[in-house]
Structure 1
Amino acid sequence: MITFAITVLGDLGQKLNLVFATLLVAAAFALVTGLAVAIGRRVDVPVVPTLGTAAGVWALTAAATVRPVPALGAAAGAAVVVAAAELAGSSEAVGVTTEDGNGRRRVVSALGVAAAAATVGTAVGRTQTTDASGGSATNAGNGGSGDSELAFEVEDQVATAEERSYDIDGMDPAISEGFYQVDISSVNPNFDTDEWTLSVTGAVEAEFELTYDDIREMDHEHRFMTLRCVGESLNGHKTDTAIWTGVPLSTIVEEAAPTGDCGCVMLRSDGDDFYEQFPLDALEDGLLAFGMNGRHLPRGHGAPVRALIPGHWGEINVKWLTEVEFLEAEAEGYWEKRGWHGTGPVETVAKIHGQQRREDGQVVVGGHAYAGTRGISEVEVSLDGGETWETAELTERLPGAWGPAAEVGGGNTEYAEDAWRSWRYVYDPPDGAHDVVARAYEADGTLQPEEERGAFPNGPAGWVEQTIDPSDL
């Protein structure tokens, strides 16, 4: 079911999952409210429906969100509806009395009140989890686009990224304008940074815990890093780049002093019960990120702290990280247990997203090329189905890591280790629709494989081909 939702339904599957969950919550609220109203009218105690609804809705919301205080909002909203209906109960609007003496109108009334209370309770409850992609963890500041001030100094690098972008219709700049989200949970966890801790456990000299403040006090760095979704289509829009701020994971590994022979680590999240195993060597260049694009890490992207492991598929970079466990023996991660490749290098791709007709009649196409930590050296474009090829323009690579800890984590290299490059190709179009094919070469000259394959289980691969009709541009 999870594989089907990711590979076939994509974003729609996630939205349908959320709609289904919302309907279940509304049905539960309606049931609780209906019972409270029915019991209150049977015992003829006016306050029972209101208090019963408030208590029931609060208990359901608190249990589902593990946030008892915000759950009071949903309870209050539902209770207000019931109270208003009960106050009007002495009139025909509520239908307590009937001329035929049966209870049909009483039942209809109770159902109506229950439905109204469920609607209000659900709506108010949903406000407790809104802005999941933009809002950050409690007390961490707001990582959303609405922030007026930056939390970290990245202005110079943002300006550099703008210079290393191509302005083509349908194509993102070097820093993505809307970073994709794929999660296993319908509602993103919301941690209070005052209570959040990162536990370091397992085969180590001594287990220990770090608070959010502990991590923020460590030397940090900023990096350009790209993430690509393993379940996206070949030319999909789930590959994005951001500036991430955090602490090198190697700092945590060094303090832990692993004692096991496994050479493997399990990263876990108590927020959504996600977990993924990595080779210990992969953590050497990993990052504990608490910032994104100069702001505090947004809730929807794993606040207060997430893991970023260069060169790996996006889904295994654990969000809402709460534990780093050094293992005695290898174990399967969340996605491996479900048949996916899991931990492993991302596939190389050159996407075709930008298409634009210039005033002089020429057509410009473009996109982003990405090969994980293997890097991109060249992108070629064919206008005849792959018979002949021309070299596309490439932007200069994005800058390497910077900040106090750059030499520890990102290597303090001149260029970003794990970030895409933008490409474009300008040409005089033939008459009518024609096929454009793009392919990429890795930094060492390796040409990406031509054969196309779907997302499951190892991620999409192949040359991207798009049909372009200049008259439509």
Structure 2
Amino acid sequence: ITAAAAAAAAAGGRALGSVRNSVEAARRSLRLPAPASPAPVLPAGLEAPVDGVVPWLTPNPDFYRIDTALSVPQLDVDTWELRVHGMVEEEFTLTFDDLLAEDLIERYITLTCVSNPVGGNLVGNAKWLGYPLRDLLRRARPLRGADMVLSTSSDGFSASTPLPVLQDERDAMLAVAMNDEPLPLEHGYPVRMVVPGLYGYVSATKWVVDLEVTRFADRTSYWTDRGWSEKGPIKTMARVEVPRSFGKVAAGTVQIGGTAWSQTRGIARVEVSVDDGRWEEVTLAAEASVDTWRQWHHEITVGPGSHTLRARATDPAGGLQTEERADPVPNGASGWQSVQFTAT
């Protein structure tokens, strides 16, 4: 029995490997259309001039991955379909070719996971190519009373996104490409959702195959069934990346830097405090858009010994980042990051 089970497992592994190789080969050979609306030209000065600050554009292999899939779905673009239904005047199904034939947009957008702790790395910035969800919903024509879109992945994961968010002027999309290449398998190939301003658990469904226009009162989703909040607007956050926590620096003048984000609102100011001293405003790098993170840098002077550096951000709409500490559950972590380091 053990030998038979081992043989079956080996055969299953070979079969899965063959499918993955086939899907990956199809992905590599996929030719995507040029966007009808290309990404805006990036301004100079997006990167903070401090060694150790993360790249402004996150490479695909370094982009965080959080999902519920036990194994990465292997979807064939020739058979992939997206069903649009529910409280709409027109139900329809899109094939992958249908999607590519639409007017696609290209945008830089920062995504953030609701599980990201204060100062954490579950956040990344990429260039996305996709079909605006507001255009898709305009075709479907939601009925009066609908207030949510329940998106479902091929593996059964679901997310509940407020309908108005997908109908306003933000660039929410069904993405087919990431940083100038078809979506990596781990990041939702062939199609995923990308929605600026919301944590991924209510918006960023990967391997998406179903969109149901419905109501929060009638339907729930994967994480809301597990105690997380229905709506997940991203909180304003500043992160210290240099110096590293518990790192060592030379005493004297020290270059510090990091990143701040507040998608759909932007970052107006970042301030730092050393050893509970006065707050000092730092230099902000250029801003690509309110939907992307923004880097910052500053110069401080410290003597030998242990020090604590804190950072906080201000966004134009919501004001100063809250100091109140909160865990990720149920709607995202909050608080000011503190980094301890030693000067020698």
Shorter-normalised TM-score: what interval? Answer: 0.7 to 0.9
Matches within 5 A, 1:34-433: 53=7, 57=8, 74-75=10-11, 122=13, 124=14, 127-128=17-18, 139-141=26-28, 160=42, 163-177=45-59, 178-269=62-153, 271-284=154-167, 285=170, 286-316=172-202, 317-327=204-214, 329-355=217-243, 361-385=252-276, 387-398=277-288, 416-433=289-306
Q: Give how far 1:315 is off.
A: 2.8
The alpha-carbon distance between structure 1 residues 247 and 451, as it changes in their structure 2 partners (threshold 3 A), is same
Q: State yes or no: 1:440 paired with 2:308.
A: no
Q: Distance in 2 between matches of 1:436 and 1:456?
A: 26
CA contact (8 A) 1:348 1:448 kept: yes
SS in 1 for 2:115: coil
Higher relative CO (Cα under 8 Å, sequence separation at least 6) belongs to 2
Alignment RMSD (CA, Å): 2.9
SS in 1 for 2:297: strand
Higher helix share: 1
Which residue of 299, 312, 323 corresponds with 1:450?
Answer: 323
The alpha-carbon distance between structure 1 residues 250 and 453, as it changes in their structure 2 partners (threshold 3 A), is same
Q: How many residue pairs align between the two structures?
A: 332
Q: Which amino acid aligns with 1:388?
A: R
Higher strand share: 2
Q: Give how far 1:170 is off.
A: 3.2
Q: Distance in 1 between matches of 2:49 and 2:318?
A: 27
Q: Give how far 1:437 is off.
A: 0.4
The alpha-carbon distance between structure 1 residues 454 and 431, as it changes in their structure 2 partners (threshold 3 A), is same
CA contact (8 A) 2:251 2:303 kept: no
What per-residue deviation string (whole Å, max 9, x for no partner) do you get for residues 207-240 of structure 1?
A: 1111101111111111111111111221111111
Q: What TM-score does the superposition give when structure 2 sets the normalisation length?
A: 0.87
CA contact (8 A) 2:131 2:174 kept: yes
Percent of residue pairs identical? 33
CA contact (8 A) 2:39 2:106 kept: no
Q: Distance in 2 between matches of 1:188 and 1:342?
A: 26
Q: Give how far 1:457 is off.
A: 1.7
Q: Distance in 1 between matches of 2:99 and 2:197?
A: 24
CA contact (8 A) 1:276 1:334 kept: yes
Q: Distance in 2 between matches of 1:276 and 1:165?
A: 33
Structure 2: runs of 5 or more not aligned: none
Q: Distance in 1 between matches of 2:336 and 2:163?
A: 33
Q: Give how far 1:206 is off.
A: 2.5
Q: Distance in 1 between matches of 2:330 and 2:323?
A: 18
Structure 1: runs of 5 or more not aligned: 1-28, 35-52, 61-73, 76-120, 144-148, 399-415
SS in 2 for 1:347: coil
CA contact (8 A) 1:268 1:323 kept: yes
